[in-house]
Chains A and B, each alone.
Chain A
Amino acid sequence: MIALLVRDLRLAMRAGGGFGLGLSFFLIVVVLVPFAVGPRPDLHASIAAGILWLGALLACLLSLDRIFALDWEDGSLDLLVTAPLPLEGVVSLKALAHWLTTGLPLVLAAPVLAVLLNLPTAGVVPLIGSLALGTPALSVIGTFGAALTVGIKRGGLLLSLLVLPLYVPVLIFGAEAARRGAEGQDYMTPLMMLAGITCGTIALLPFASAAVLRVTLR
């Protein structure tokens, strides 16, 4: 299992794309927002938490189709399915690798970009906390979407159509926690709801993803 994780991480880093691309996309989104809404620091401060969450979500979405597509093309996905490792475990590892290469860098970069958007300092901790708790769920849900669309040619657009509605609860609680933190309110309730959703998806969704993969590779 660890070998598989290491392999996926190496592929993501060396093949170009996965590691830096999501992060650069995140940066670009954040840079573009002030151009779109105008140079008003007070406005930036009030929407910063939402923009950072939305940017993280889109950056995550962008790299989803790489989770299974490459393995599907060169046939190693068939090998993984027939391997002695349970498919649920493979799927969970794929999600973990995706989070390590996409979600974790976003969490680490978020405070720097928050400064660009003039986020109040009180909001930095809840922002990092909500992203750290929420992005694993984004990866796990995204892995399910990627598993659904792996056999479909040009499935990228379909993938976003399927995955984005599933992201709604995570986005609501994550952005709510970050927003409340920025406004100096109590942010524990949405943060705990977010953690609950993340735990639930991590526990249950790999089974759905594995079932879907088995159907596709039948």
Chain B
Amino acid sequence: MASLWEYANPKKFIATSDKVLPWVGGLALVSLIVGLIWGFWFTPEDARQGASVKIIYLHVPSALMAINAWIMMLIASLIWIVRRHHVSALAARAAAPVGAVMTVIALITGAIWGQPIWGTWWVWDPRLTSFLILFLFYLGYIALWAAIENDDTAADLTSVLCLVGSVFALLSRYAVLFWNQGLHQGASLSLDKKENVSNVFYFPLLVCIAGFVLLFVALVLLRTQTEIRARRMRALLARERMG
């Protein structure tokens, strides 16, 4: 019976992810190209927002992935703490910079979108503020990984930071909500609501979201492979120096 935990074996992980990676990467590329071209050139302009509405195809998927990347890191950290699979710790490490970049993309596209529509690049709106705080959490997490030399110690400390950070990120999210009322609209996409954005915008947006998810998976797989190989190389070099 094949179990999920087989992929905790680095060798098995690399072999399988090598096979999967071209497909995921290719699919990500295809759906991003299709989604963005569809979204940018083949959807009507919004009645009030004009062409600037089209940045939604970058803004919403990146914002979604910025949060999901942190959740993925949280799960990977939990797996590392409970089962001590090195691949899991390395996957969390690999996901952090990707998530940080997604956060930056969401913030920047949001600013570009906000300028013509709200008339300002930045407001201290709950959503915007909590994204900025999320970005700070990413920075701290990455910096802690970089600062510690011993790999296992670093994996342990960053996992605890990720757990504590998740609680405080959530806390900040609701504290910020209490602190200031927002300009940002509520969630426009959800699975259980009948009212979503109009279908002309909805389907290309879904394709773009799929593209971002696949892109994230591909990048994390690739970066995890790199981390595993880098660690192997260090071990080999250390052995050579010893011998």
B-facing residues in A129-168 (Cβ within 8 Å): 144, 148-149, 151-152, 155, 158, 161-162, 164-166, 168
**Chain A residue contacts of B148, Cβ below 8 A:** 151-152
Structural contact, B164 and A144, CB atoms closer than 8 A: yes
A162-B161, A169-B172 as given contacts; A148 in contact with B144, CB under 8 Å: yes
Structural contact, A218 and B153, CB atoms closer than 8 A: yes
**Chain A residue contacts of B175, Cβ below 8 A:** 168-169, 172-173, 193
A155-B147, A158-B144, A168-B172 as given contacts; A148 in contact with B161, CB under 8 Å: yes
Q: Which of B137, B147, B165 gathers most chain A CB within 10 Å?
A: B147
**Chain A residue contacts of B157, Cβ below 8 A:** 148, 212, 215-216
Bound-state Cα–Cα, A53 to B157, Å: 29
Bound-state Cα–Cα, A206 to B157, Å: 14
Distance to closest chain A CB from B190 (angstroms)? 26
**Chain A residue contacts of B176, Cβ below 8 A:** 168, 172
Give a binary string over A4-40; 1 marks a CB under 8 Å from any B CB, 0 the rest: 0000000000000000000000000000000000000
Q: Which of A151, A152, A169, A190 gathers most chain B CB within 10 Å?
A: A169
A161-B139, A193-B178, A208-B163 as given contacts; A168 in contact with B144, CB under 8 Å: no
Distance to closest chain A CB from B1 (angstroms)? 34
- Does A65 count as interface, using CB distance less than 8 angstroms? no
Task: Find B164's partner among A149, A169, A208, A218 (CB 8 Å cutoff).
Answer: A208
Structural contact, B153 and A215, CB atoms closer than 8 A: yes
A-facing residues in B150-195 (Cβ within 8 Å): 153, 156-157, 160-161, 163-165, 168-169, 171-172, 175-176, 178-179
Task: Find A197's partner among B139, B153, B165, B171 (CB 8 Å cutoff).
Answer: B171
- Does B143 count as interface, using CB distance less than 8 angstroms? yes
Bound-state Cα–Cα, A190 to B168, Å: 17
Chain A interface SS verdict (over half) = helix
Chain B interface SS verdict (over half) = helix
A148-B157, A169-B168 as given contacts; A158 in contact with B147, CB under 8 Å: yes
Distance to closest chain B CB from A47 (angstroms)? 15
Interface size on B, residues (CB 8 A): 25
- Does B136 count as interface, using CB distance less than 8 angstroms? yes
Distance to closest chain B CB from A61 (angstroms)? 14
- Does A81 count as interface, using CB distance less than 8 angstroms? no
- Does A211 count as interface, using CB distance less than 8 angstroms? yes
Structural contact, B160 and A164, CB atoms closer than 8 A: no
Task: Find B160's partner among A158, A165, A169, A208 (CB 8 Å cutoff).
Answer: A208
Bound-state Cα–Cα, A51 to B127, Å: 24
Structural contact, B168 and A166, CB atoms closer than 8 A: yes
Structural contact, B143 and A161, CB atoms closer than 8 A: yes
- Does B25 count as interface, using CB distance less than 8 angstroms? no
- Does A113 count as interface, using CB distance less than 8 angstroms? no
A176-B179, A212-B157, A216-B157 as given contacts; A166 in contact with B164, CB under 8 Å: yes
7 new A-B contacts, CB < 8 A, other than A165-B133, A212-B157, A215-B160, are A158-B144, A165-B136, A166-B164, A168-B175, A169-B171, A215-B157, A218-B153
Q: List 26 A-B contacts (CB under 8 A).
A: A148-B160, A149-B144, A158-B140, A161-B143, A162-B140, A162-B143, A162-B161, A165-B133, A165-B169, A166-B164, A166-B165, A168-B175, A169-B171, A169-B172, A169-B175, A172-B172, A173-B175, A176-B179, A197-B171, A205-B164, A208-B160, A211-B160, A212-B157, A212-B160, A215-B156, A216-B153
Chain B residues with a Cβ under 8 A of chain A:
133, 136-137, 139-140, 143-144, 147-148, 153, 156-157, 160-161, 163-165, 168-169, 171-172, 175-176, 178-179
Chain A residues with a Cβ under 8 A of chain B:
144, 148-149, 151-152, 155, 158, 161-162, 164-166, 168-169, 172-173, 176, 190, 193, 197, 205, 208, 211-212, 215-216, 218
Closest 8 CB pairs of A and B: A169-B175, A165-B136, A215-B156, A172-B175, A169-B171, A168-B172, A162-B140, A166-B168
